[in-house]
Amino acid sequence: MEALLFWSAATAMVVFTLLTVSSRNPVYSAIWMILSFAATAGLFVLLDAYLIAAVEVLVYAGAIMVLFLFVIMLINLRAEEHEGLRLNPLAILAAATFLALVTRALQDRGPAVGSEPNALEGSPGVVADALFSRYAVAFETVSVLLLAANLGTVVLSRRSHDR
């Protein structure tokens, strides 16, 4: 049952990602990408990472993709400017080499990684415990980073005659 769920979600993720990368119309790409993120959230649930699955749907499929769709609509490309994948032999070679190298690297594991899956605690309480104790400094740093990105966005998008 678990294997069936894994393989169906994995196939969905790969197919939707492929459609995202190859669609000619950017709006279709964005919609395929939302579906691919939904499949990823399903995979996170299979890994017992429930909080991460929820954050994936809220932040990635919700916030980030809405941002993408807004900008696509603002830019509003003409249909003749749409173009799909440009199959460059060098790029294909580079991607194939990368995949081959990573597949080889997958054969080795570090000492901290066991071969058997463990019961992962993915509930918000457990993750929040780590987030607000051991990773508290990193958490605060990320909040400053988000503030900086916010301010940067506002400064960049002001029209030049306001300056």
Interface pattern 129-158 for another protein (x via CB under 8 A): xxx---x--x---x--xx-xxx-xx--xx-
Nearest-Å Rg of the Cα atoms of the chain is: 20
* Among 2, 80, 108, 162, interactor with another protein by CB under 8 A: 2
Binding mask 14-53 for another protein (x = CB under 8 A): x--xx-xx----x--xx--x--xx--x--xx-xxxx-xx-
For position 86 contacting another protein by CB under 8 A, the verdict is yes
**59: helix, strand or coil:** helix
- Sign of the C-alpha dihedral computed for residues 20, 25, 28 and 34 taken in this order: positive
Nearest distance from residue 99's CB to another protein, in Å?
5
- Give the C-alpha separation, 136 to 113, whole Å: 25
Tell me how far, at minimum, the Cβ of 24 lies from another protein, in Å.
10
Buried b (16+ CB within 10 A) or exposed e, 13-37: beebbebbeebeebeebbbbbbbbb
Indicate the residue among 86 and 163 with the shorter CB distance to another protein.
86
For another protein, the binding residue among 1, 79, 106, 137 (CB under 8 A) is 106
